[in-house]
Amino acid sequence: MVKPQRMPNVRGLMAVLLGDDPVHLGAHWLLLGVAVYGIMIGSKYWRGDDRHSNLMAFSFAIVVTLLTSYYANIYDLTLLLVPLLLLARTFLHSEFGGWPRTVFLWAAVLFLLTPFLWVLALRIDQFGLMALVLFALAWSISAAERSLQAV
């Protein structure tokens, strides 16, 4: 049986925050809102004229897709290796710094820190909290793309 609190997405986060009851109608509306907002932001950044912008938009789309999927499992997070590998050089050696860079690096560390994942998944059985890290990763990519567009 698939338990929602074991899913690293919005549905899992809502199950962790609202308890073990069936997912409430409000959670579905929140999921829809996050999906629509993610599509709007992703389409805004996907200009098609710049390779760097396309990498950022593609990575953002992967993160938002995982975040808004109805079913997600621990092994689905392997898809995050694509954005982490594509954007690592940008965030490590870019001219922008500050919060987007710090948040991206911390999110990458949390995804790659296996003992942390084991504690969430096996010890406390609340892997839905990984959705917060996904939100942070999506925010950092979005903020970095905004700052690069302003330049």
Average of pLDDT values for 48-75? 83
pLDDT at position 149 is 67
Q: Structural domain boundaries of the chain?
A: 4-150
Dist. CA 133–CA 106, nearest whole Å: 9
pLDDT at 21 over 70: no
Retrieve residue 43's tokens: 């389409």
**Residue 23: what pLDDT?**
56
Report the interhelical angle of 130-150 vs 98-112 (nearest 10°): 150
Of 22-36, 85-99, 120-134, where does mean pLDDT reach its minimum? Answer: 22-36
Q: Residues 64-111: pLDDT tens digits? A: 889 888 888 888 889 999 999 988 888 887 666 688 888 999 999 988
Amino acid symbol at 80: L
Mean pLDDT of the chain: 82
Is the Cβ–Cβ distance between 136 and 99 less than 8 Å? Answer: no
